[in-house]
Amino acid sequence: MKVLVTGAKGQLGTDLVKIFKEQFIVYGLGRAELDITNLEQTKQVIYELQPDIIVHAAAYTAVDLAETDEEKAYRVNGVGTRNLAICAEQVGAKMCYISTDYVFDGASTTPYREYDNTNPLSVYGKSKRAGELLVQSLCSKYFIVRTSWVYGIHGNNFVKTMMKLAKEREHIKVVNDQYGSPTYTVDLACFLKELIITEKYGIYHSSNTGICTWYEFAKAIFEEIDAKVILEPCSTEEFPRPAPRPMYSAMEHLSIKINDFSDLRDWRLALKEYIKSSN
C-alpha cells in the first residue's frame, strides 16, 4: 500500500513517515517536493506516484500571523487542501485531512463531539474549517481527523518552550483558563496508521485522553523534569494575542469509540514517555 504524506518534514509529518514505514510504502513530501497551492504541480506529482492514501499533514499553522496574512492561510489550508482532494478523487485514493480543535469557538463546557456545529473564531480556524468542507465535498473516501495541543520531538511546541524556560527563568506565568487535551505526535501517528487502512470514513477527534489547562500542562512538564521554578497561573486577558483562542477545546472521541478503535492513552503517560525519549 502506497501512502503519500504531505508536510513530511513537520512536527507530525516526521513521525508519520517514520511510523508508516513499518507497514507501508511511504512518500514523505515537504514543500520543496510538493507545492500543494499549485494545482498543476500537485496533479503531476500525484498522478506519477499513484498513492492509495494521501495523509495531508501540511498546513499553515502560524495562528497569530494568520490574522494579518489571511490570504496565505486560505491559500495553503483551503486551496492547497482542495488541490489534494481533487487529485485524491481522480486517482481513487483515500484522503486523510489533519484538522484542529480551532474549528470550535470554545464556548462549550463539555467536550465537543465530531458532528457538533463548528464556529471558528480565528482566521487559522476558519481556513482549516474551509479545508474540511472542501474535503467533504470533493472526496468520496475521506477521514477528517481533528487534533489539539500537538507536541513531538521534531519542531517547536509548548513542551519544548516550557523546558527551555525552566532553564532560563525562576518564575513563569501560564494561562489557567483555557482547557484542552495535549497530543503526542507518536500516539496520533499510531492511531492514523490504524485508521487509514479501514473504510470507516468520517470525522474523528484524536488527542491523548484527559483534559487540562495550559497551566496544568506546564505544571506536569516541570514535575516530569524536576524543574525548580515558581509557576503562577494567570488569565488569558493577561496575555493578549492577535488570534482568539477557544477557551474550551476538549474533544469527545465518539468516532473512535463507536468505530471500535483503541483510544489514545492518558496525556500524562504520553508526556512522561516523550520527556524520557527527548533526553
Pairwise CA distance, residues 29 & 13, whole Å: 9
Residue 124 annotated among the catalytic residues of the structure: yes
Note whether 232 and 91 are within 8 A (CB).
no
Q: Tell me: pLDDT of 279 over 80.
A: no
Note whether 259 and 143 are within 8 A (CB).
no
Return the pLDDT at 117.
Answer: 96
Return the pLDDT at 239.
Answer: 85
pLDDT digits (tens, 9 = 90+) for 28-69: 999 999 999 999 999 999 999 999 999 999 999 999 999 999
Note whether 189 and 228 are within 8 A (CB).
no
Return the pLDDT at 169.
Answer: 93
Which three-class secondary structure string do you get for the chain?
CEEEEECCCCHHHHHHHHHHCCCCEEEEECCCCCCCCCHHHHHHHHHHHCCCEEEECCCCCCCCHHHCCHHHHHHHHHHHHHHHHHHHHHHCCEEEEEEEHHHCCCCCCCCECCCCCCCCCCHHHHHHHHHHHHHHHHCCCEEEEEECCEECCCCCCHHHHHHHHHHHCCEEEEECCCEECCEEHHHHHHHHHHHCCCCCCEEEECCCECCEEHHHHHHHHHHHHCCCCEEEEECHHHCCCCCCCCCECCECCHHHHHCCCCCCCEHHHHHHHHHHHHC
Q: Which of 27, 124, 184, 248 is catalytic?
A: 124
Q: Which fold has domain 2-157+181-210+249-267?
A: Rossmann fold (3.40.50)
Chain-wide mean pLDDT for the chain?
Answer: 97
Pairwise CA distance, residues 151 & 156, whole Å: 8
Note whether 77 and 118 are within 8 A (CB).
no
Average pLDDT over every residue of 190-194: 98
pLDDT digits (tens, 9 = 90+) for 257-273: 999 999 999 999 999 99
pLDDT band with cut points at 50, 70 and 90 for residue 195: very high
Return the pLDDT at 88.
Answer: 98
Average pLDDT over every residue of 247-252: 97
Strand 142-147 relative to strand 53-56: parallel, antiparallel, unpaired?
unpaired
pLDDT band with cut points at 50, 70 and 90 for residue 278: confident
The answer, as to whether pTM is greater than 0.85, is: yes
What is the domain partition of the chain in residue ranges? 2-157+181-210+249-267
At 97, phi and psi to the nearest 5? -105, 125
Of residues 274, 7, 16, 15, the one with CA closest to residue 160: 274
Pairwise CA distance, residues 95 & 82, whole Å: 11
At 270, phi and psi to the nearest 5? -65, -45
Pairwise CA distance, residues 117 & 86, whole Å: 25
